[in-house]
Chain A
Amino acid sequence: MLKIFFYLTLIILSFKAIAQEKHTLSGYLTDGRNGEAMIGARIFVPSLSQGTLTNTYGFYSITVPSGIYKIEFRVTGLETEIKEIDLSRDVVLNVELGTNMQEIEEVLVNAKKGENINSTKIGQIELEIDQIKTLPAFMGEVDIIKTIQLLPGVSSVSEGGQGFYVRGGGPDQNLVLLDEGVVYNAAHLFGFFSVFNVDAVKSVNLIKGGMPANFGGRMSSVLEVNMNEGNNKRFSYKGGIGAISSRLTIEGPLKKDKGSFIISARRTYIDLIMKAAIPDTSPFYGSSYFFYDLNVKLNYKLTDKDRIYLSGYYGKDMFVFDNKEDNFKVEMPWGNGIAALRWNHLFSNKLFMNVTTTFSDYMFSFGSKQDEFRFALKSGVRDIGSKVDFTYYANTKNRLKWGADYIYHTFTPTSVSAETNEVVFDTGKAQKLYSHESALYILDEFDLNEKIRFNFGLRYSMYHQVGPFTRYQKGGVGVADTSFTYSKGDLIKFYNGLEPRISGRWLLPDKSSIKAGYSYNYQYVHLTSLSAVSLPTDIWYPTTDLAKPQQGWQASIGYFRNFLKDRIETSVEVYYKGMKNLIEYKEGALPGDDINDNTDNLLVFGKGWSYGLELFVKRSYGKLTGWVGYTWSKTERIFPDLNNGKVFPAKYDRRHDLSVVANYKLNDRWTFGACFIFATGNTLTLPSSWYVQEQNLLFNYGERNSTRMAPYHRLDISATLYDKAYKLKTDLLTGEEIQVKKRFRSNWAFSIYNVYNRANPFFLYVDNDGDFLNGDFKITVKQVTLFPIIPSVTWNFEY
């Protein structure tokens, strides 16, 4: 496979000399107002009815027969630019769009108009950042992941939670990328807020099915978040002051039109609110919580063919619980650090290369102190990786992509220490697990004829678990435990597998198409959770000699049709997903059971499947935009060692899931938003019976996830009031009053979460109170609701 990969690169490099009868137009598309690369912009040749899209870096390449063509450059939200270009030779044309545009609604275009019909992409959705910003925001925090959760096929883990399930896959099966760096925990505040600061984000793309071969390592989805590059024209800033946090972004040129930077920071004030709320006489004084995050990105155009990008993210949460009465204190910090260095190089006007080196670090720690007893726990994962991707734009009918990636994982599932003044407790060695994950891939997107287009891909992934490592083998009751230690670099286990990815589109009349896709994925990391809700305490655990890689396949087919000149996009998709080597904790496993043991000794393994139907209606432009998404699905699991080996519903099995999202731009000053959600209640396991042992009331649980909570539904609304875009100024020459565009702009964003104050279930529990002998004993099932109606207001500004 490796040889094929290198031969392919050499062959492609030599193509230029052979294919002389056609010529190539290539270059970069940027936003003329700030120099940002235009992602997904469309370059279209009307006379040939052919076109292409810019990639993540704004690069495009289109090869057509020799001739003079009118070429359209379309970017969503901007006026189309048409250029006449003589392609009797290869032409490099970097285009800046939107430099002198007047924002008149009627001339603005949707660059992706009809793209949902034409492309082979199935199960992929791109979100418009500007639209996200005007949707209702929980506590005033505009949130990308909460918007993702409104899409069909995607559901939230719980009220307000950041974890999301895609087509029946677990939250660990989503590859979340920030500028190609892996984000292991995308949540702040125990999951209620996303780590993505919307001011620093340029584009969001969700792939929930038909995953292309250039992505791997996760089974269910890819959430690709790209940061802004920074304004390379002038210095500017923007920010917002909200109910619980504020944010500030500064950007500007490193060298005008050559390079730029962006720094974006955000911090909560929850700790200040708690400090004010807890009197200094309270034993809890000193308890607090805060989070902050920082996004930094630099980019520089080295030559016409070389560009570099350096992206960084650092975010941290800190929870402190202080109870002076019990002389008890806990500190619990957690957070991500991500860095990515990327180099784009153009070997030719058809061959684009990107090399990325990434660093990703997720850390969770817990430290407590009571009197003389101290306890500390650490968990985390650190990745160092590199990848190289080549894209060869053969012609408008064929685009070839290939590459390789590699990650060196260091996992620390649990590292514990405990001591008093006199005694250091034996908590075993810190468990660290090391592994190499690598892959080679190739994909080819080509038109078989005018109606049929295919995207064939093949990915070959490999995984080496290496030492040092200690394998514990529990002896069971009455039998001594044993262990075996591997030295540094020892190969413990090797896994590999081929991952075919195929998708296709068949163009039908009347602006419609049928698409189908099949993908097979290996996943070499697992997220283990002991709790019923997602928490930062959930542990990332790698594939080992015992815990095999998760494997999954998905097949989907959909009918796509647009109406009203592409203003209304609709689709119906059905899918089936099969999964194996899924993990869960053994029944009765407890936190800390893996001390002096391997975490995977506490795990059990099983299979799962999910199938469903998704309906999607979207209006992308006009005064009223938004979508309606509905999903019917069923998700089940079977584990030989759980639930007596019987099939049980996954905890996020939802039969119905409906989202209605709407934005209405009344005029230049007012935009209104609303979203309504209805979802079948989550499943959970509750005790089905009680009994008494030594005068203690004990519960016996029934079948796993056999209880279903009440349905979840909620309506949120928002209104955004923009200041006037123009101010009046007296023309010094004519004395007349003229309108001048204001450089400082601001808006007030008002939101109401849960408008009709629905008491949605967050979790249920069985409560008991009273005494048998007193005759007042009572067992009840109680429902906890987290968020009532919550109004919020945020002031945003931009200069």
Chain B
Amino acid sequence: MKKVISGLLVLLLFNSCTKEVKIEIPGYAEKIVIDGRIETNFPPVVLLSRTNDIYSPTNLEAYLNGFISGAVLSVSDGTTIFPLIEICTDALPAGTENFAAQFFGIPVEEIANYHLCAYTSFDPEILGQVGKTYTLNVKYDGKTYTSQTTIVPPINSLNTFWKPAKNQTEYGYSWATISDNANQFDGYLWEIRYIHETSYSKPFSPFFDDQFIDGLTFDFAYENPMSFQDASLPDEFKGFYKLGDTLVVKLSKMDEAVYQFMEKKYTQLFSAGNPFATPTNIPSNINGGALGIWAGYSPRFDTLICEL
């Protein structure tokens, strides 16, 4: 559908022109943004930031100043409350640099140059466990924000394979076979990395649910998101995995509220500026008026060797 909309836009904009305008957009009110996650066997990590007026400065300094430190956070697993501590990129505990670099989107070699703070806990008792519901509590500037997320059971099995694309012999997509559970909501997140890398990448539309596949066993394919960052790769091979590549596929499940946030988020990412789309605010699962998400993920992994 997105390609069709693109086609429509091509037709519609055949004779159109675009120019920058300065127009009043009323209604800005600063809000807190909570970006938190907890994953099976990982501790909770939470970033706090602020929204910015649409016309506010967009330089690096503004971006960095948008993060909030000094808040009081805790996570409860239903029985115990674990306070979160604030750790900053210029004083990271040894061994956490890669994780922090991935989390903030900053090259690992530069991470120490920035003072970006996140909230986490090193208590081994708070590592994510399947079946548990985690409650996040954030206190900042006299206000309290709360949210809950559940680490749902992971998918029963994940079988990945590779096959050449049409008219190709050495290049193809990653495929997987999964069996969806019948009569329940299931939401999925597809991530992948080369086996020698540490961080996962997401394809263009990494989230899907079982609206059309409830209870079915089926195959599906994803493109190679890393290939688009490879400037040395000719355009005609972008999107493909090459025969011989070895990868790690991570297919996570999440609860429905998290999926709804992510679905709307990717819809907005794809449709921003599209006149055929309705303006979509992303539904948060956080109480108290903050934006963002408190997300629990339940992954299953599989190694994919691109071979026939």
Contact = CB atoms under 8 A, between A and B. Distances in A.
Contact of B27 (A420, A591, A688): A688
A281 to B, nearest CB: 15
Contacts of A768: 58, 272
Interface residues of B, number: 79
Contacts of A708: 23-24
B60 interface: yes
Interface in B190-236: 211-216, 218-219
B20 A782 contact: yes
Contact of A780 (B20, B104, B215): B20
Contacts of A761: 21
B23 A692 contact: no
Interface string B1-17: 10110011001110111
Contacts of A781: 20-23, 25, 54
B25 A773 contact: no
Contacts of B183: 480
B26 A706 contact: yes
Interface string A366-404: 101001000000000000000000000000000000000
Interface of B (DSSP majority class): loop
A686 interface: yes
A498 interface: no
B62 to A, nearest CB: 9
Interface stretch (B44-52, B86-94, B124-132): B44-52
Given A695-B105, A772-B63, A773-B60, A706 B25 contact: yes
A762 interface: yes
B189 to A, nearest CB: 11
Contact of B212 (A418, A532, A783, A788): A418
A591 B51 contact: no
B58 A777 contact: yes
Contact of A689 (B35, B53, B255): B53
A468 interface: no
A775 interface: yes
Contacts of A332: 4
A709 B273 contact: no
Interface in B265-294: 265, 267-269, 272-283, 291-293
A167 B18 CA distance: 31
A696 B272 CA distance: 13
Contacts of A423: 213, 216, 218-219
A593 to B, nearest CB: 9
A694 B256 contact: no
Interface stretch (A17-25, A302-310, A697-705): A697-705
B26 to A, nearest CB: 5
Given A692-B33, A692-B66, A700 B51 contact: yes
Category for how many chain A residues contact B: 35 or more
A287 B7 contact: yes
A710 B23 contact: yes
A642 B27 CA distance: 15
Contact of B278 (A531, A759, A780): A531
Interface stretch (A86-94, A323-331, A607-615, A664-672): A323-331
Contact of B18 (A321, A327, A784): A784
Contacts of A706: 25-27
B16 A784 contact: yes
Contacts of B58: 768, 772, 777-779
A680 interface: no
A321 B25 contact: no
Contacts of A703: 26-27
Contacts of A323: 3, 7
Contacts of A691: 31, 33, 49-52, 66, 291-292
B15 A787 contact: yes
A520 B130 CA distance: 59
Interface in B24-74: 24-31, 33, 35, 49-55, 58-60, 63, 66
Interface string B68-107: 0000000000000000000000000000000000001110
Sort A-B residue pairs by CB-CB distance and give the 8 closest, nearest first: A702-B27, A765-B273, A321-B7, A695-B105, A425-B212, A763-B275, A689-B51, A685-B279
23 contacts: A319-B11, A420-B218, A426-B214, A427-B212, A530-B276, A531-B276, A588-B281, A689-B52, A691-B33, A693-B265, A693-B293, A772-B60, A772-B63, A778-B58, A779-B54, A781-B25, A782-B21, A783-B19, A783-B21, A784-B17, A785-B16, A785-B17, A786-B13
Interface of B: 1, 3-4, 7-8, 11-13, 15-31, 33, 35, 49-55, 58-60, 63, 66, 104-106, 166, 183-185, 211-216, 218-219, 255-257, 260, 263-265, 267-269, 272-283, 291-293
